Each structure stands twice: as structure tokens, then as C-alpha cells.
Structure 1
């Protein structure tokens, strides 16, 4: 990493530490993701938690949804990806959701968790999840 890149990375990390956050928890819908054919045919519930790092000072000042991240639209975006193309891995699903949100909404970064509570595992468990952090470039 060059000195310039390290400086930019440090600056962004400092901004994110102080950033406002909007969090959606438990956005759920049925998707057809998994390695097994049965998962792709039957479908199963997926739940997504997302924290978006942003600045909503202007929205608070104006009381106008146009100046913030519309979380209803984010929820619809998540639903569209989960119910869309069938994928093998929830890691890929998480990446697709993150990319879609970063492309459509004005956020500095996001942390996203995809939960797959009905994964076909032969031992008792309560949840399987993956979590990613992505920055808007």
C-alpha cells in the first residue's frame, strides 16, 4: 500500500467511525440459493441485516426523505436480489446485495449480514450467516 493510499484509507476509517448510520434488521424473503438442487427448487427464507454509513444531517435539518437513504427502497432492493437469480453461495448473495445497494444509494459504506436459518445441516443449529463490509468507491 502506498503512503497516499494509506492516508486515504485512514481518512475514510476516521470518517466512518463518526458517520451516521441507518440500520435495517431482519429483511426477510424466500430465495432459491444453495449448493443442493433441493434448495434451488424448494426455496427457503433468507434474512438480511444492513447498516449503512452515511450523513443524514441535511435530512434532519430539512425533514425531507430526499436527503437521506430511503430505507423502504433499500428493503425493496434487498428483496429484489434475494428473490432474483439463484446462486450457490450466500457469500455471493451478500456481495450482490452490497453491490446493488452501493450502486443505488448514497452511502459511504455498509455492513451486511445474510442469514440462512433453514440451511440443510444435519445437526441442530439456529442460524448460518455471513457478514461483509464494503465501502463505496
Structure 2
């Protein structure tokens, strides 16, 4: 079980067939948009989403397209806190927020789908096809 272990800063937490990022409780302080949708976290970490993603909201799911800057619905995440952040072995990233929203990013066959950087030296990338690559404390 994940409870009590996700506070280890800068280290992935292995959970059998998946990993947890050490971001639980961090606040989304800023959102940046260019060729990616980047969530800036209060704990000195970033999550950059380059592939299409699905944002589940109370009004239903919304497709986000960072490559076309179609991410307006993601602005509702500013000021929320992460409640869970799971990486599955197939490369899928699942994020939960304290406002009830959920964000899912699937791997992309030809491009990096997402990356997570920090805190500290931790860096995790979903390479093309879903392979997970890590640097730093993993």
C-alpha cells in the first residue's frame, strides 16, 4: 500500500506492477503551455505532457492536445493538490487531484509522451512506445 511512503522526496516508489512518483500533496502552482502542457509543482518538480491526454472532470472527459495548445480545461488544476500519481509499466501516467479531476496520459508510439523532473535529481521519461527511463534517484 502506498500510504505513508510517497513522501520520500526525489525517489520513485515501486508498487508491484507500477510506480508512484513522490508528488503526493504537492500543489499545482503554475501551468505552462508551449509544445507541452507543463504542471509546475510546489515541491520543486515539473510534469511535462507532450502527448494527447484525457482530463476527467465532473462534466465528463475532455481531450487535451498540448501540441495544438488545446488545454484550456487544465487551468482548473491550478491551486489543486496531487492525491495520487501512478506510472504503469506500459508507460501510462495517471494523476489524481483534490478537486476530483483525473489526468491520464497514454504512451505515444513515436514521441515522448510525458516526463517528470524533480524534486532533486529525479527524472522520469515515457519514451516512444511506453518504455520508462529514469535518471537520478529511482
TM norm structure 1: 0.31
Larger Rg: 1
Greater strand fraction, Structure 1 or Structure 2: 2
TM value normalised by structure 2: 0.31
